[in-house]
Structures are given as structure tokens and as C-alpha cells.
Amino acid sequence: MNIATRLRLAQLICIVLLAVMAAIFARTTLQMRAEVAKAEVTGEVLRAASGLRYLSLEYVQHHGERSRQQWLMRHASLQKLIAADGSFDDAAELELLADLRQRLQSVGSLFDELQGLQADSEREPGREAILQELEARLTGLIMNRAQNMMSDAEALSRLNRERILAAQGNAMAASAALGGLILIVVLGAMGLTIRSVTVPLSRLRRATEVVGGGSLDFALELRSDDEIGSLARSFDHMVQRLRQTTVSRNELLQANQALQAEVAERQAAEARVLAQLTRLRLLHQITRSIGERQDLRSIFQVVIRSLEDQLPVDFAAICVYQEGELVVSGVGVRSYELSMALAMGEAAHIAIDQNGLSRCIAGELVYEPDIGAVDYPFPQRLARGGLASMVLAPLLAENTVFGVLVVARRQPQGFSSSDCEFLRQLSEHVALAANQARLYATLQQAYDDLHQSQAQVTRQERLRALGQMASGIAHDINNAIAPIGLYAESLLETEHGLSERGRASLRVMERAIDDVAATVARMREFYRQRSPQLTLSTVNVNQIMQHVVDLTRARWSDMPQQRGIVIEMRQDLGQDLPLILGVEGEIREALTNLVFNAVDAMPDGGVVTLRTRHVERLDGAEGAHVLIEVRDNGAGMDEATQRRCLEPFFTTKGERGTGLGLATVYGMTERHGARLVIESALQQGTAIKLYFPVAPQAAGLDDSPPALRPAENLHILVVDDDPTLLASLGNILGADGHRVTQADGGQAGIDRFRAAAAAGDGYEVVITDLGMPYVDGRKVAETVKQLAPATPVILLTGWGQRLIPDSEDGPVQVDMVLSKPPKIRELRAALAKCTLAADKL
């Protein structure tokens, strides 16, 4: 049999098998369509049954005409849907359909009975309980029937899915079997053909070599009936004829030339294959190199450098498409000088012309074999640099061109078709790598942002929790120090026989109480946004320095001496210092923190120097300033610590430090418009210098109004749950000549106020605490205002005024609010204002 006949027979068999496969696929498709149609009907039945169930419940609950009509319509549509068998032909499916029809008929009958019960209930009200019981049973039966219908519909759906899966499995099995048969037929035909061709051709090659060598005593003697056999017989006949005749020289030359041409063609084909392999190796190398990088610039540089070195090209650049123009993003090292001459250096902008660039931006690979003949701006720009041919490859990612790969050579027709195909494939790989790099950078940025957001939220939550704890602590501290402040102020005012040392000690106690109160107030506001700075007053710097020395004496004198360590406190205070504007408590607290830091920096002892000076001129600032310096000769700070020492929560003290000392000092200087300078070196100590602007002369005038003093013999009710504070307020007000009644708690205060009002001996002023158990100050004030609206109410609070709902002028139910610890002068002023306002009314 001929080889061609064998191949045609194999082709025919493959066609037949493919036709069988197509028929199987068509039959499977029709079967699956039928099953899909059944599934749609099943889904409609399931939804209709579910709707009947829901409408039955709605009708039972409301007995609405609209629900009844909707039920009947849904019942009719479902009955019409399952009235005919349709495409259901399986016995199980027909049985399920019969069950559905039976249950649907039963549901209709039950619903008719349910409607009749409603009519009976309206006719016979006395049987309402029995009818309701029947209605409940009928409703349950309807629900069960509907649920059974839904179960039947789900069973139909499962049957459909099983038949679909079975049809798919049959189709796949048939496809696999027919595909195997086709493969066997093809492989068999190829094996027979190769066997019938290879051996005879090998013998024919051997015979050709023998005859070409000049020996004509050779015969193939092949007896096959195919084309190879016919060729062998022709060869034997040719050799026989050669024996009988002499071959001419011209025929030999022609045969030799034909052979040389064939050799040249094969060598050219081999060269093309080698070039293609070289391109593939280069593409693999570039792809592997750019796959290891995550930033666009390094990816572009690797691509350009590889093209310059190994393709090679005379000019290579990558441009990014932005806002309707190209921006040069990368230029090769060897192309740098030429890019400068062409004004195509990095970051250069290139307008898009209507020839090559516009086509490339549209996603097309552009090759110009002779750019000198192209009359457009961009090709002409390259031509002026001595380039003659160019290729523009689009960088396409997600169907969008985001850049262009530009390569050019100096010779015309410089790029072959294989070069263009290589550049096209390379551009696809570069675009994919660049897109992945951009996605990686975006994800990394999103991760960093998320990490920073989480850290910020965690820090804010920690500060909020600390602030809430601090607010509760502030309330208890204010209650504890209030009696101390009241008694210290009373002793300074009433005890004229005190020694100077005792009076000075009481003043130190009073200042300490004020500082504690200010610190507590800041603790209370720890997690809130701080309000603008309070009213500034004139401050004597030297006096504050003396106060700081007295307040910190235990820290720098007594406590170190217990460990056998001596710390010397030196004061170098300037004379006749001008006053500054500020908040005395904040400045004193900041200096106290600086003294504590200086003591901590000298664990083995040393010298702390407090210095003040009048500075007439300060670099970068206008006007005179007052210098406050705290210097120690302790461990000092290196440059890294100095750069971070003002950051909140940064500390070098480990668990002993909070990292808020210098941060608080810095915040105080910012609020006062002052300047903070730090001078420090390791093992040479640290100097903290604060420069405060000098207060204007008018600021030194005391224009505060005279203190108000209330009239004596006021009948005052004091309400508080703290016995110590209650007793101290009673003693202080009693010493001023007032009649004071004490009430331990809010309910006791309300009872006493009501009793006094009923007896005709009402109170002229009520002073109540805010935070009390069971009945707080708000309730006390509200009750007082309900019983006697004209009676002034003064509210004492250790929580701060921000925690009280108030209007612009103060809390709604009270006349005055005083923060704990109260001052005697503030208490007197409040009493005077309240009684004065009451008199006007």
C-alpha cells in the first residue's frame, strides 16, 4: 500500500472518530439543556411552595384579603406549573411530580377549610377558642404539606444534578476513549510510515554515496509497492543506464551546483535556528533578572543594559506614558551621550506624534526600517542623531499601555523579523514584571499605612485608658487634699502668732497643694485635646527658683543622703530680673522635672546649678529675654539621645522613667512662646536653658478686682460624702460667722433641705459635692431648684467642669461651680456673688 494511501486512511479514521465525538457532545449538550430546563421548573416549584408557606402564615396572622388573593394566585400558578409532565420522563421524577400534585391539591383543600373557619368565627363568636385551635391545626398541616412539597422539589433538583453530572461523566469518558483511539491511529500511521521510509531512505543514502563515489556496481533491490519502492526501482534503473552511457561534464557541474545551493540553504536555516536560540536564551536571561527585582527603575536598567550588550542596539530607552505624553524613565549607559544630544535624557517629555508613537500607544508594535524617510517629529529627532532604523514596543499591562520600549540602530533595515518578534515578547515580559513591581509597591505602602494606623490606634486607646484612669484618680486626690488646702489657707489668715518658719512652711504647703491641683487637672485632661492656655500673669523667676529648691529638697538632699550620696544645690540668680508672662504652676512643674532629671543623671552625686540671667539680645528673636538654666555634671547625653530626648515616651531610665518629663517641658515652652536649648556631652553633664520673653511693663500692674466677701450669718447647707472635707468646710465657714448644717450624702442633704423648708427655716445657700453614691450633686441641685428656685446652689467637683453638661454661662441647675480643692477666697467670692444675685432677685 502506498504511503499516501496509508495517510489518507488514517485521516479518514480520525475524521470518523471526530464526527462520533461531535455527535456525543451534541447529544450530551441536548441532554444537559433538558436537565437545565427541568432544574428551572424545579426552582420555580420550590419558590412557589416557599411562597405558599409564607402567604399561609401571613393570612393566618392578619386574615387579609390581599394575602388570600396572593395565596390563591400562587396556588394557581404552581398548579399550572406541575399540571403537565413536560420534559420529565424518568420514573422517579414522574413519581415526585405526582406527589407534588397530590400535596398541592391537599394544601388547596386545607386552605379552603381555613377560609371557612374564618367565616364560622365571624358567624359564631362563642366558638372562637375551638375555631382557633382548628385554625392552628390546619395551619400546621398546610406548613407540613408545603414543606413536603419543598422537599419533593429539592429531590427533583438533586435528580437533575445527578443526571447532569452523569451526562458530563459519560461525555468525558467518551471523549477520552475517542481521543485515545485517535492517538493510537495517528501513532500507528506514523510508525508504519517511518518504518516504511527510514530504512529504505538510509539504504538509498548509502547507494547515493556509493554511486557518487564512482562505483556503479550497486543495486537497492527494494520490492515494496509504495513510493519508496518506486523510487528505489527508478534508482536501480538510473544506475543501470549509467552503466550503459557516459555522463557529460555539464550535467555533473549542474548537479554539483544544485547540491551546493541546497547546502547553502541548509546552512542559512541552521544559522536562523541558532539566532532564534540565542534570542530565546537572552529573553530567558532578561526575564530571570527582572523577576528578581521589585522596583521599576532597576527593572528598566536591566532590560536596557542587556539589549545594549547582547542584542546589540545603538540606542535603547524606556518611556512611561503619563497624561497624554511620554516621559523618559530609563536610558542605557552606552546611549547616555546620544540621549543628551537628542534631548531625551531621563525625565524628558516627548510629545506623541500621529505616526509611530500614537500607533504604539494604541498597543501596536512599530518598526520603521528607514526613519529618515518618515516625516514626523520623533523619527526625525532620532535621525538627527545618526540613527536609521527603530522599533517601538508597547508595554501593555491589563489591556492598558503604560510605557514604550524604544530601540534603534544606525544602519537602515537594522532589525529582522526575528528581532521584532523578540522585542515584542520582551516587552510583554517587561510589562508583566513592571506591573508586578507596581502592585508590590502599592501593597507595601498599604501594609506600611495599615501598620502605622494600627500603631496609632493602639497608642490612642492606651492614652484614652490611661486618661480615664487618671480622671478617677484625680477625683480621689482632690477630695484628699481639699481639707489640707483649706486648713493651710485658714491658718495663714487667722493665726497671726505663727513663727516665720511656720508661716513659710504653710506657704510651701499651699503652693504644693496648688501644684498638685494643677497636676491633677492636667491628669484629668490627659486624653482630651487641651484647651487654649489660661490667662497669663506676671511671674517672678527668682521666686519660682526658690520654690523649686524647697519643693525638691527631699529628692536632691534627703533621699541621696540615705544612700551616702551628696548632691550639692547651687543657685546663681541674677539681680533685678524683669518679670515674665506665664502660668506659675506650669513653669514650676517644668523646673521640678528638670531638677529630678539632673538628680537621676548623677547616681554617684554631683552638683546641680540653677542659674537665671537677663539677656538683652537673643539670636533670631526680638526683645529681651530671661534665661533659666538647670545644669548638672552627670552622665550627659550622646547625639542620638539628644535628637530623641524631646519625644513623648522616649526614656533612657528603663522601667523607672515614663518619657514624659522633657516632653512636658517642651510643651510648656511652646505654650509660653519660649525657647528650649539643650547642651550635653557624654560624661560632661547636661545644661537645659529656657529663654522666656520679658513681660511688657503694663503686664506688671495688678488690675485684679478687690476680693468679694459675703455677708455673715448665712444659713448654709453643706452636702458631701467625705466626712473630712465636710468637717473642714463646716469649720472654715463657721469661722466666717455662718450657720452651717452638714449632710453626709445626697439623700441626707435633700431630706434636710425639705425639712428646713417645711419648718420655715430655709437655707440661704446650698453647697454640694458632684460625685456621691446613689444621689449625686446634680440630683441635689435639681431638687433644691424645684423646692426653692431662688436658693443659690454652689457645686464642688473633683472631676472638672467638662464632665458637667452645661450651657455657655454654667451648669443648668447650679449657680456656681468650684473645682476641688476649693480656696477660701474662691469660696467667699462664690458666696458673695450668689447672695448678691439672690438679693437683686
Q: What does the H/E/C string look like for 389-422?
A: EEEEEEEEECCEEEEEEEEEECCCCCCCHHHHHH
Write phi, then psi, for 481 (nearest 5 degrees). -90, -10
Q: Bigger pLDDT: 281 or 363?
A: 363
Query: Strand pairing partners for 628?
Result: 612, 690
CB 795 within 8 A of CB 780: no
CB atoms within 10 A of CB 369: 14
C-alpha to C-alpha distance for 434 and 394, rounded to whole angstroms:
13
Angle (deg, nearest 10), helices 584-600 and 661-671: 150
680: which 3 cell numbers?
Answer: 550635653
Look at residue 609 and tell me whether its pLDDT is greater than 90.
yes
Look at residue 300 and tell me whether its pLDDT is greater than 90.
no
Residues 6+ apart with CB under 8 A from 178: 17, 18, 20, 21, 24
Look at residue 160 and tell me whether its pLDDT is greater than 80.
no
Confidence of residue 701 (pLDDT cuts 50, 70, 90): very low
Interval 219-247 mean pLDDT: 70
Confidence of residue 626 (pLDDT cuts 50, 70, 90): very high
Confidence of residue 71 (pLDDT cuts 50, 70, 90): confident
C-alpha to C-alpha distance for 227 and 2, rounded to whole angstroms:
6
Q: Bigger pLDDT: 107 or 213?
A: 107
809: which 3 cell numbers?
Answer: 454661662
557: which 3 cell numbers?
Answer: 538632699
pLDDT digits (tens, 9 = 90+) for 335-370: 888 888 888 888 888 888 766 788 888 888 889 898
Look at residue 38 and tell me whether its pLDDT is greater than 60.
yes
Write phi, then psi, for 652 (nearest 5 degrees). -110, 10
Q: Which of 150-154, 375-379, 464-468, 682-686 has the highest mean pLDDT?
A: 682-686
Q: Which of 126-135, 201-210, 219-228, 373-382 has the highest mean pLDDT?
A: 373-382
User: Is residue 702 classed exposed, middle or buried when 0-12, 13-18 and 19+ CB atoms within 10 A define those classes?
Assistant: exposed
Interval 701-728 mean pLDDT: 71
Look at residue 605 and tell me whether its pLDDT is greater than 80.
yes
Q: Which of 202-211, 442-451, 732-741 has the highest mean pLDDT?
A: 732-741
Least confident of 34-38, 148-152, 317-321, 665-669: 34-38
Least confident of 369-378, 379-388, 497-506: 497-506
Strands 816-819, 580-582: pairing kind: unpaired
In order of 375, 560, 602, 632, the CA distances from 568 in angstroms are 90, 11, 11, 10
pLDDT at position 656 is 58
Q: Is the dihedral of CA 782, 783, 784, 786 positive or negative?
A: positive
CA 776 to chain centre: 44
pLDDT at position 630 is 93
Q: Bigger pLDDT: 427 or 763?
A: 763
Q: Which of 205-209, 378-382, 658-662 has the highest mean pLDDT?
A: 378-382
Confidence of residue 175 (pLDDT cuts 50, 70, 90): confident
Query: Average pLDDT over the chain, rounded to whole?
Result: 78
Q: What percent of the chain has pLDDT over 70?
A: 80
Residues in the chain: 841
C-alpha to C-alpha distance for 666 and 676, rounded to whole angstroms:
7
Amino acid in the structure at residue 418: S
Strands 685-693, 739-744: pairing kind: unpaired
pLDDT at position 522 is 53
Look at residue 714 and tell me whether its pLDDT is greater than 80.
yes
485: which 3 cell numbers?
Answer: 488646702
Least confident of 43-52, 116-125, 133-142, 798-807: 798-807
pLDDT at position 469 is 67
C-alpha to C-alpha distance for 72 and 83, rounded to whole angstroms:
16
Side by side, the strands of the sheet bearing 349-350 are 349-350, 325-331, 315-322, 400-409, 389-397, 366-368
Amino acid in the structure at residue 398: E
Q: Note the pTM of the prediction, 2 decimals.
A: 0.33
Confidence of residue 741 (pLDDT cuts 50, 70, 90): very high
CB 357 within 8 A of CB 367: no
pLDDT digits (tens, 9 = 90+) for 797-839: 765 544 444 434 444 578 888 877 777 788 888 888 887 765 6
Q: Bigger pLDDT: 404 or 656?
A: 404
pLDDT at position 532 is 42
pLDDT at position 611 is 94
pLDDT at position 725 is 81
Amino acid in the structure at residue 37: A
Q: Bigger pLDDT: 548 or 4?
A: 548
Confidence of residue 463 (pLDDT cuts 50, 70, 90): low
395: which 3 cell numbers?
Answer: 508595554
CA 51 to chain centre: 44
Contacts 24+ apart (CB under 8 A), 750-756: 750/775, 750/779, 750/780, 750/783, 750/784, 752/717, 753/717, 753/783, 753/784, 753/787, 753/788, 754/787, 756/717
Residues 6+ apart with CB under 8 A from 87: 34, 37, 38, 41
CA proximity to 348, closest of 381, 309, 397: 381
Residues 6+ apart with CB under 8 A from 259: none
Cis peptide preceding 693, ω within 30 of 0: no
In order of 20, 440, 608, the CA distances from 174 in angstroms are 9, 46, 98
pLDDT at position 808 is 40
pLDDT at position 838 is 59
Look at residue 58 and tell me whether its pLDDT is greater than 50.
yes
Q: What percent of the chain has pLDDT over 90?
A: 9
Burial of 235-248, coded b for 16+ CB within 10 Å and e otherwise, reads bbeebeeeeeeeee
Look at residue 380 and tell me whether its pLDDT is greater than 60.
yes
pLDDT at position 207 is 76
Q: Bigger pLDDT: 210 or 521?
A: 210
